[in-house]
Structure 1
Amino acid sequence: MEQFMETVKEVVFAVLPITLVIVILQFTLIWLPTEVFIQFLIGVVMVSVGLILFLVGVHVGLLPVGEMIGSTLPKSKKIWLIIAVGFILGFVVTVAEPDVRVLAQQIDNVSGGEISQMVLISSVALGVGIFVALAMARIIFKIRLKWLLLGGYSVVFLLATITPNTFIPISFDAGGVTTGPMTVPFILALGVGVASVLRSKSSSSDSFGLVALASIGPIISVQILGVIYG
């Protein structure tokens, strides 16, 4: 119960500032139609309830399961299995990410259906899956994070020279939306579980950096998509 109340406080303090700003603007500058303003207030309540339920679900289900999967996989002593599961989980969690779907819908509307939601979601999920697998390999083979980040962003900026201009901002937005409420908790928990078993002495440092790596994958995959469509 105590954890539930803490979650409620977190959501209230997160949603309240933007709500107050909109209310102040409503009665000073913008004067939205009453119907629209009421819809906004109803939306605030629905978002707040949804966030509370979602965060409770993350703490109750996603985090423990992610850590258990991460700590169980190394016991199989099969490197390929750890990397493969990392790829699969990275892919499916990204497909379920709400932020990715919002971006895909916006791109679909702007492009007039030329770039469909499914194509963009699949591309982003594929990029995340590959780089989560790479993150698992980093933990296993003790690869330093800075070299992977340097290599990843080198590829990003090289691809930017041949990617159509319209796809470059989309690619970086794709990298941002993958750091959403669905992907981040699960990937971090997975990394904590794997690192705690494989390298107990440095598990705290190995557990992190996964999200940084995962966000590179969508940038590269969308840039490649741009080269194909371009």
Structure 2
Amino acid sequence: MQKIKNILFEVIYAVLPVTVVIITLQAILRSSIDIIIQFLIGVIMVTIGLILFSLGVQIGLLPLGETIGAALPKTGKAWVVILFGFLLGFVVTVAEPDVRVLTTQIDIVSKGVISKNLLISAVALGVAIFVGLAILRIILGIPMKHLLIVAYGLVFILAFFTPAEFLAISFDAGGVTTGPVTVPFIIALGIGVASVLGGKSASSDGFGLIALASVGPILAVLLLGVIFR
């Protein structure tokens, strides 16, 4: 019960300031009562949705991610851990609402030239590959900075060969993968993997997966732009 109460207050504190600012702005602009009522109905629905989602993350996604992450290394096979990290990275990205919003808008603006399904697949594949690399980094103890330097070095190189529209989309794709579904699950997965590896620290190795995972979609979309060019 206390957990539900805490989530309730967290959501209210998050939604209330935005609501007050928007209502004030609507009053200054003298918007119609109908628009204000529609906005307030939307606020109520968003608040309920956020409460349910946050509760679902707390009691479902986080424990599940940590359980899977802790169980996989016990198989004693590195390729199994990396493979399931890859698969989980792919499916949670496909399920990410932010990714679907971005790809739908791009599909509409480009009039179908940049297909929604193709873009979702590319973004999910980018995340999946880099989640696998992030888990490999935990297993081998590779410094995070080395992987980030190489990854962003490739980003800057590909940026010279990619059309401008794909360059803009690529960085937006990296941003939307840090959404409410992908982030809690991947972080929990990383902490679970790091917690059972001998000589490793869950506090240092368990984090950083999101930093690497967000580079994957950027590279994937940039490569897609090079292909489309």
Gaps of 5+ in 2: none
Normalised to the residue count of structure 2, the TM-score between the two structures is 0.98
Match of 2:110 in 1: 111
For 1:174 and 1:36, locate their aligned partners in 2 and report how far apart those are by CA, in whole Å.
Answer: 32
Instruction: Supply the AA of the counterpart residue of 1:93.
Output: V
Post-superposition offset of 1:35: 2.6
Contact residue 194 and residue 200 of structure 2 kept, 8 A:
no
Residue pairs, 1:56-75, within 5 angstroms: 56-75=55-74
**Do the aligned partners of 2:159 and 2:222 also contact (CA within 8 Å) in 1?**
yes
Aligned partner of 1:3 in structure 2 is 3
Superposed displacement of residue 38, structure 1: 1.8
Instruction: Name stretches of at least 5 consecutive residues in structure 1 with no aligned partner.
Output: none
Instruction: Name 2:179's counterpart in structure 1.
Output: 180
> Which residue number in structure 2 is paired with residue 78 of structure 1?
77
Asked whether 1:19 is paired with 2:22, we answer no
CA distance in 2, matches of 1:178, 1:199: 30
RMSD of the TM alignment (CA)?
Answer: 1.0
C-alpha distance in 2, partners of 1:200/1:69? 20
**Cα distance, 1:64 vs structure 2:** 0.5
**CA distance in structure 2 between the aligned counterparts of 1:146 and 1:199, rounded to whole angstroms:** 22
Q: How does 1:133-144 map to 2 (within 5 A)?
A: 133-144=132-143
- Report deviation, 1:227: 1.3
d(CA) in 1 for partners of 2:228, 2:200: 47
Aligned length: 229
Please give the per-residue CA displacement for 1:187-208, whole angstroms capped at 9, x wherever unaligned. 0000000000014542210001
Give the counterpart letter for 2:4 in structure 1: F
Whether 1:223 aligns to 2:222 is yes
Counterpart amino acid of 1:133? G
Q: How many Å separate the matches in 1 of 2:222 and 2:188?
A: 29
Q: 1:42-83: per-residue Cα shift (whole Å, max 9, x none)?
A: 111111100100010001010011000000000000110000
Q: What residue is the counterpart of 1:101 in the other structure?
A: 100
**Residue 92 of structure 1 aligns to a residue in which SS?**
helix
Dislocated runs of 4+, deviation >4 Å: none
Structure 2 residue aligned with 1:148: 147
Q: Distance in 2 between matches of 1:44 and 1:194?
A: 38
Q: 1:220 to 1:201 in 2, by over 3 A?
A: closer
Query: What is the rounded CA distance, in whole Å, between the counterparts of 1:117 and 1:40 in structure 2?
Result: 29
Cα distance in 1 for residues equivalent to 2:215 and 2:198: 25
* CA distance in 1: counterparts of 2:25 and 2:5, whole angstroms: 30
Confirm or deny: 8 A CA contact 2:69 2:191 kept in the other structure.
Answer: yes
The percent identity for this pair of structures is 62
